[in-house]
Structure 1
Amino acid sequence: MFHKAGFACATAAFLAGGVSDVRAEYLFDMLFGGRANRGRVEQQRPPQPVQEPVRRKPVSVPKVAAPSYYNYQPQGLVRVDFARLAASIAKEAATQVAAEPDGKAETAVDTDTSLQNEANAVAQAEPEKSAFSVALAGLEGFDLYTEKEIAEALVAHYEAHPDFVWVSDDSVNERARSALRALGEAESYGLSEADYRVSVPALSEPGMDEAERAKQLIRFEMALSARALRYAHDAHSGRVDPNKLSGYHDFPEKPMNLTQSLGFMANMSEPGRYLEGQHPRNEEYRALRAELETLRAAAEKEIVVDPKTFVRPGGTHSEFPKLLKIIERDGNEAFLATYGELLKAHQGSDVYAQELVPAVKAAQERHNLKPDGVIGPRTVSAIAGESKAARIDKVLFALERLRWHPSDLGTTHVMINVAAYEVDYIEDGKPKLSMRTVVGSRSNQTSFFYDKLETVEFNPYWGVPRSILVNEMLPKLMRDPSYLDRNGYEVVNNRGQKVSSTTVAWGSYGGKVPVSVRQKPGPSNSLGELKILFPNKHAIYMHDTPAKSLFSRDTRAFSHGCVRLADPRAMAAAVLGTSVDDVAKNINSGDRSRPTRRKIDRDIPVYVGYFTAWPEAGSSKVVYHGDVYGRDERLKIALDKVSDLRAPSS
């Protein structure tokens, strides 16, 4: 009797063309009763046309694109519409005259675009306001360029208040001098003085007539108003719009009523104090300003090592002798007692000899680096420091980035500095907790934003982000649909029902897979014992991890974007205002296969920051960090573009 399994396998081989022509003929005879029956079968089957085999297109694996960096384009400048200003003032004056019962209604206001005509009309209508009105004629041909919102605020203010702010008695007043002093100190805040420069008119020149004097004063008036508003805006919000840098930057607008700001300054005796008050009001900003002043006054380092130096034991590098000299120079008594003679013996050599490895490792340990003996950028930066110019740039970038944040960071807050791979918990203005973190890799960068803490979740599910599901898991699932079922994941359809991963046609939906995937709580869960949530569109949060070994590394950019904590129980206890023992009880109580939550009942901001220069928590000492994502260079390009755009403006 012919075995069914053998029949199935043989038929499959035959249909698939997996046997030779001779064996195929034998197989046909065996199945259909020999050569006699073969003829009858062939007679019953009409001849079939020869068809080309169907060529199926290979299934393309979709990708969810990561956020991108943009070609930064600063806001363009516009010419202030002084004709509109003069026409508006003239129209208002005419309206008021027409309403007077003293027979002046016949006075007509010429609505010609000539500023001189507008000024004359207003002067005739309201002689008591003739100084400002007559001076308006001096704006004829005056091209003042500034940002659009500033140009609009300028016109709006003077339409409502047609009078001088910075001029009194045909001269520059004390209010103007106060503002000019503030603008002149812009560099001390990390701004560019050239962006706010205003020429003070030389009114004492011999032969200057009244008309020329009025023209100089009105132009000074408008220029100072425009530059004071630019300074106020830059101090309040920054020179660069962070959200135009990349998709990783996500900051809310910092609204500012510039018309109101000019009104404030018009009624202040010292508007310079108002301008200075627009800068961030936090200790970090003050510490960075002090560091900037110190750096600018300091001499360049005696020994400057190329920050890109890289050399392993046994290798050679021209910068290596400089590094050895710094290690010897900065070594304490105990260090030099052990390694001093060794360092002297190799002085001037560019060969990294094996016997020097212990000395280099000891130097790395003194700077809290992993003592691996390999000299790379982080070791060079820690031991030799960066050049004065590089440190100044990092402080300038940090000052700019702080302007994107709230002026007051809050007396209690969490600061995650991605560039430093660290997180600090500040309570009542004092550092209470600091720890190492693991952050997003260069290809899965942690975004730059701020939010508020909401919840701690114990024994959490890990909801697999769409990007990971599509980019990393989908190729595996197209080969092996049972992959998720076998590896501790749950698949949930759009009706909230759990389904087997084998029931999903993974290759049929492209990047829009109609299910969600989550990893069950447990020892292998990617989030470990807990996560601390501050819900945001980037799906970023702080959490535990089973991969503890990564915290011992100097460079800790390994995650998919979330922030892994070296001591998650301590952080959870801090933000909940409880003890670590209490957190442990929450983790261990009940069914550990089911998540539980506790709401954070205090208002605690969390800043997911990126600062390559930053004061140590509780100290004014500024520490410098590597630019793991290359964001400093992109910010520098943006700032340079802003300066180039503003340079020709007057």
Structure 2
Amino acid sequence: MRGTSFFRRNGAAARGIVAGLLGVWALSCHAGTLAADATLWFSQGRPTAEARQAADILAAAAADGLEPRDYDAGDLRRALGQAADGPPLAPEAVNLLDDRLTAAMEHYLADLHGGRVDPRKIHENFAAAPDGQFNPPAYLRAAVAGHDLPEAVRRAAPSFPLYGTLRGALARYRALAGHAAWQAPLPPLPGRKLVSGQAYAGVPALTQRLIALGDLPVGTPAPERYEGAMVDGVKAFQARHGLDADGEIGAGTFAQLNAPVAGRVRQIELTLERLRWTPLLEGPRMIVVNVPEFVLRAYEVHDAHVQVKAEMKVIVGKALDTRTPLFKEDMRFIEFSPYWNVPPSIARAETVPRLRRDPGYFERQGFEFVGGDGKAVTTLSAASLDAVLRGQLRIRQRPGPMNALGDIKFIFPNNDNIYLHHTPSPGLFTRGRRDLSHGCIRVEEPVALASFVLQDTPGWTEARIREAMERGQSSTLRLQQPLPVVLAYGTAIVKADGRVYFFPDIYGLDKVLDEALRQRSASRRTFASAQMHPQLSY
């Protein structure tokens, strides 16, 4: 079975390796193995320094959130160690172990560079990078030939800065798993919520936990009551976990404070996985919306350094029924003082019933009917409402203070008809959880976003942008250069302050990804076991 000694003596070594290597084909669906007379990892029957480096790299795959068992890291490390210390291997045994290590490394490099699952199968519509951009077999052989394997592996990982900072955060949170602060759950709250000045039996444990997380300075003494610096520490914790930072410990904050460290580790691992396929560095300028964070960032890349030029709150699609899809498209137009064409689904389910109950709503909202010929009808009638339900007319909202899109719309054509826009209800941005829309994304600071988009377009000053937004007459501007927009999903990030922030899995996509990865690993190991023990597969 796997994990037993392969090299007690040379003949047994050959037989053991042959048996163990029957499972290699589970790892090498896309891997090209070397010819029998051209080994990559051996010299005169002994593993090379690069072979030992490769074994160490596979054993350390967890540092990137990958699973060492997916690459037979333990067995390979033992086999190579015994091959180095025992009698020289026969040529057949060398070739088999060489092929096995090659296949494992190619698979590891492919996973590290581009991820382990097809994002389109888990509700994330990001296309895989063209095969020609990264060729694991060729990349691996060049790295070994150049005696550059560790550095080549580092270069194969995503280069976006967030990946590196999250990788460091993963190590820190793994170290917390055995910390004394998590040996027992916090005691129950004394009431519905804990506020400043109250007594609480869990103050010492909570102090210890906040210090370990970095939300309180090292050496902060535990107060007799919940007060002072401890309240500030809880506010810092709340800010890092998508909670209202009011310093009061209610059910939501208490649940987050008691969350197992293993769950945080898994959030980081899943976000690292997403960063392998999310297209975040495909141009010098880009707009990225992180849906569960409810935040938009516009950034530029200069000399491989990412500079955030604008950051703002957003409102995204409702988790229950109108989720914002995840994809990348190019922004091509800005529409000032836009019309809002009410989507047919919203018109049928919401607008028409509302107009039947409250006819005055038609005029207050600035609605009109539009036919296939483009002519507008500005009076309400039952016949027109019936025509909307039959698909013969559509409802449109004119530019103005009540327009659902506000006074600007950022268009990146896509199959889901999703776009960025302002809103006549800016008060909604004060809410902590902001999944409130029908799918499109409302932006808090449209002028700042327009200034970023148009910064290289002559004549488009902030004053001109505001004038176009306030004119009340619809006009469309075509961008001189398309600007990539990415709608992404990450429930763990490291911000500029170096602290780790976690956000609720509002769409349940972490659960979907977690299950997909677990099924993939289980399937791979089951197939490998069946190949090693073919009698079990009958």
TM-score normalised to the size of structure 2?
Answer: 0.75
Q: 2:400 aligns with which of 519, 522, 526?
A: 522
Q: Name the aligned partner's letter for residue 420 of structure 1.
A: E
Instruction: Identify the residue that residue 173 of structure 2 maps to in structure 1.
Output: 295
CA deviation after TM superposition for structure 1 residue 527, in Å: 0.7
For the pair 1:229 / 2:106, whether they are aligned, the reply is yes
Three-state SS of the structure 2 residue aligned to 1:604 is strand
Instruction: Identify the residue that residue 460 of structure 1 maps to in structure 2.
Output: 338
Instruction: Identify the residue that residue 307 of structure 2 maps to in structure 1.
Output: 430
CA deviation after TM superposition for structure 1 residue 643, in Å: 1.6
Tell me: CA distance 1:366–1:488, structure 2 relative to 1, closer, same or farther (3 Å).
same
Contact kept, 8 Å, 1:312 with 1:373, in 2: the verdict is no
Instruction: Identify the residue that residue 611 of structure 1 maps to in structure 2.
Output: 490
Instruction: Identify the residue that residue 425 of structure 2 maps to in structure 1.
Output: 547
CA deviation after TM superposition for structure 1 residue 479, in Å: 8.1
Q: Name the aligned partner's letter for residue 596 of structure 1.
A: S
Give the number of aligned pairs. Answer: 477
Q: 2:289 aligns with which of 416, 434, 437?
A: 416
Three-state SS of the structure 2 residue aligned to 1:302 is helix
Distance in 1 separating the partners of 2:523 and 2:491? 26
CA deviation after TM superposition for structure 1 residue 425, in Å: 2.1
Contact kept, 8 Å, 1:307 with 1:386, in 2: the verdict is no
Instruction: Identify the residue that residue 181 of structure 1 maps to in structure 2.
Output: 56
CA deviation after TM superposition for structure 1 residue 370, in Å: 4.5
Instruction: Identify the residue that residue 160 of structure 2 maps to in structure 1.
Output: 282
Distance in 2 separating the partners of 1:367 and 1:312? 17
Instruction: Identify the residue that residue 476 of structure 2 maps to in structure 1.
Output: 597
Q: 1:449 aligns with which of 309, 323, 327?
A: 327
Instruction: Give the % identical residues.
Output: 28
Residues 58-457 of structure 1 aligned to structure 2 (within 5 Å) = 143-144=22-23, 146=25, 150-151=28-29, 153-154=31-32, 163-198=38-73, 199=76, 200=79, 202-203=82-83, 213-246=90-123, 249-257=124-132, 260-267=135-142, 268-270=145-147, 271-298=149-176, 299-300=178-179, 302=181, 312=192, 322=202, 326=206, 344=224, 370=244, 375-376=249-250, 379-380=253-254, 384=257, 386-406=259-279, 408=281, 410-428=283-301, 429-442=306-319, 443-457=321-335
Distance in 1 separating the partners of 2:428 and 2:292? 16
For structure 1, which segment, 360-369 or 599-608, has the greater mean C-alpha deviation from structure 2 after superposition?
Answer: 360-369
Three-state SS of the structure 1 residue aligned to 2:156 is coil
Three-state SS of the structure 1 residue aligned to 2:274 is helix
Contact kept, 8 Å, 1:279 with 1:403, in 2: the verdict is yes
Distance in 2 separating the partners of 1:524 and 1:327? 49
CA deviation after TM superposition for structure 1 residue 553, in Å: 1.2
Contact kept, 8 Å, 1:527 with 1:546, in 2: the verdict is yes
Q: 1:575 aligns with which of 442, 453, 465?
A: 453
Contact kept, 8 Å, 2:367 with 2:398, in 1: the verdict is yes
Instruction: Identify the residue that residue 33 of structure 1 maps to in structure 2.
Output: none
Instruction: Identify the residue that residue 4 of structure 2 maps to in structure 1.
Output: none
TM-score normalised to the size of structure 1?
Answer: 0.63
Instruction: Identify the residue that residue 564 of structure 1 maps to in structure 2.
Output: 442
Contact kept, 8 Å, 1:530 with 1:544, in 2: the verdict is yes
CA deviation after TM superposition for structure 1 residue 364, in Å: 5.1
Q: Name the aligned partner's letter for residue 325 of structure 2.
A: S
Unaligned 5+ runs, structure 1: 1-134, 332-342, 348-355
Write out per-residue CA displacement over residues 379-398 of structure 1, whole angstroms, 9 at most, x where no aligned residue: 4477x485422221111111
Write out per-residue CA displacement over residues 299-324 of structure 1, whole angstroms, 9 at most, x where no aligned residue: 53726768999974699xxx975479
Distance in 2 separating the partners of 1:371 and 1:195? 41
Three-state SS of the structure 2 residue aligned to 1:525 is coil
Contact kept, 8 Å, 1:282 with 1:409, in 2: the verdict is no
Contact kept, 8 Å, 1:449 with 1:607, in 2: the verdict is yes
Q: Name the aligned partner's letter for residue 415 of structure 1.
A: V
Distance in 1 separating the partners of 2:117 and 2:453? 33
Q: Name the aligned partner's letter for residue 523 of structure 1.
A: P
Instruction: Identify the residue that residue 43 of structure 1 maps to in structure 2.
Output: none
CA deviation after TM superposition for structure 1 residue 522, in Å: 0.8
Write out per-residue CA displacement over residues 85-138 of structure 1, whole angstroms, 9 at most, x where no aligned residue: xxxxxxxxxxxxxxxxxxxxxxxxxxxxxxxxxxxxxxxxxxxxxxxxxx9xx9
Q: Name the aligned partner's letter for residue 224 of structure 1.
A: L
Instruction: Identify the residue that residue 622 of structure 1 maps to in structure 2.
Output: 500
Contact kept, 8 Å, 1:305 with 1:323, in 2: the verdict is no
Tell me: CA distance 1:599–1:519, structure 2 relative to 1, closer, same or farther (3 Å).
same
Distance in 2 separating the partners of 1:466 and 1:622? 42
CA deviation after TM superposition for structure 1 residue 604, in Å: 3.4
For structure 1, which segment, 561-570 or 299-308, has the greater mean C-alpha deviation from structure 2 after superposition?
Answer: 299-308
CA deviation after TM superposition for structure 1 residue 623, in Å: 1.2
Instruction: Identify the residue that residue 45 of structure 1 maps to in structure 2.
Output: none
Distance in 2 separating the partners of 1:241 and 1:477? 44
Q: Which has the higher Rg, Structure 1 or Structure 2?
A: 1
Contact kept, 8 Å, 1:307 with 1:377, in 2: the verdict is no
Contact kept, 8 Å, 1:540 with 1:562, in 2: the verdict is yes
Tell me: CA distance 1:531–1:295, structure 2 relative to 1, closer, same or farther (3 Å).
same
